[in-house]
Amino acid sequence: MSRSSRIVLRAFAIWTVYVWGTRIWNIVGDETRSTGFKVVHVVLAAVSIAFAVATWIIVQRTGSRERQRASNS
């Protein structure tokens, strides 16, 4: 995986956590939203953040393996 691809994927992960974190903060504090609405969106946020964390971990491991291979060559 190229360095630029790793940067884009990390930016995606950071952006996802930021957007969902902000969104959930606003939804939970909004008294006009129903409990069901809040629960559904918290679950969506948790799934999206889990995918972002998984993406970050995959990028980290891929980069580590590539650096290790380069140093062994």
User: pLDDT by residue (tens digit) across 12-56?
Assistant: 999 999 999 999 999 999 999 999 999 999 999 999 999 999 999
Q: Is 12 exposed, middle or buried (0-12, 13-18, 19+ CB in 10 A)?
A: middle
- pLDDT number for residue 68: 79
- pLDDT number for residue 10: 96
Q: Phi, psi (5° rounding) for residue 31?
A: -75, -10
Distances in Å between the alpha carbon of 39 and those of 44, 46, 56?
9, 11, 26
Question: Cα–Cα distance between 52 and 54 in angstroms, integer?
Answer: 5
- pLDDT number for residue 25: 94
The predicted model scores a pTM of: 0.83
